[in-house]
Chains A and B, each alone.
Chain A
Amino acid sequence: EVQLVQSGAEVKKPGESLRISCKVSGYRFTSYWIGWVRQLPGKGPEWMGIIYPGDSGLRYSPSFQGQVTFSVDESINTAYLQWSSLKASDSAMYYCGRQGPERAFDYWGQGTLITVSS
């Protein structure tokens, strides 16, 4: 069974750093792109970018380029989304997803809620 399990909710202050995780199981981690999606309250999802665990190939949306960093640890089948300096505007739900048939996300994590507030 394919599963993507994300790390828990976080409450941080502006300027702090953060890394959230997405641990996958049930398929070969290195064979599929993993994507990250932001969803602001009451809004549609936003595609942040994708990473290919097989060779760490990366594609960032221009809206998120330079604002976040994707990485993977192949030894533990885990993908990461990282911020070096959080802003209040980063408060949102973040999902990881496996890019499956064609380029749709066929499996999703349960989401990680990030709250940034002073």
Chain B
Amino acid sequence: EVVMTQSPATLSVSPGGRATLSCRASQSIGSNLAWYRQKPGQAPRLLIYGASTRATGIPARFTGSGSGTEFTLTISSLQSEDFALYYCQQYNHWLPTFGQGTRLDIK
């Protein structure tokens, strides 16, 4: 099983600011990584797949980067709806696995 480790667990950033979230895989996964945002009481929503491709309807202020074992999600010009939980997911291995999440809080 590929273990996904996200950091930090909690990140506090001011509205309008920039957030940088990290995700590390326990083994190389190429670019087979997705990022999701989950608001309270809602299902996750796909933001990024293929490590850097924005999903349909996702604005350009969401940027994914990385390959191999180290990945980053950068969110610029933070808006109120961005303060939520973020999960990464690898799907390189036949058994996809998620990270434990990063909570993005308002500073």
Q: Which chain A residues have a beta carbon within 8 Å of chain B's beta carbons?
A: 43-47, 59, 61-62, 95, 97, 100-111
Contacts and interface: CB of A to CB of B under 8 A. Distances in A.
Is the contact region of chain A dominated by helix, strand, or loop, or is it mixed? loop
B46 A44 contact: no
Contact of A102 (B42, B45, B91, B101): B91
Is the contact region of chain B dominated by helix, strand, or loop, or is it mixed? loop
Contacts of B42: 110
Looking at B43, B87, B94, which has the most chain A CB atoms within 10 Å of its CB?
B43
Given A45-B44, A95-B43, A109-B43, A102 B50 contact: yes
Given A104-B34, A104-B49, A108-B45, A44 B87 contact: yes
Interface of B: 32, 34, 36, 42-46, 49-50, 53, 55-56, 87, 89, 91, 94-101
A106 B91 CA distance: 13
A44 B95 contact: no
Contacts of A110: 42-43
B96 A47 contact: yes
A75 B53 CA distance: 34
Given A61-B95, A105-B46, 4 more contacts: A44-B100, A47-B96, A106-B46, A108-B45
B95 A45 contact: no
A108 B100 contact: no
Contacts of B101: 44
B10 to A, nearest CB: 13
A110 B42 CA distance: 7
Contacts of A95: 43-44
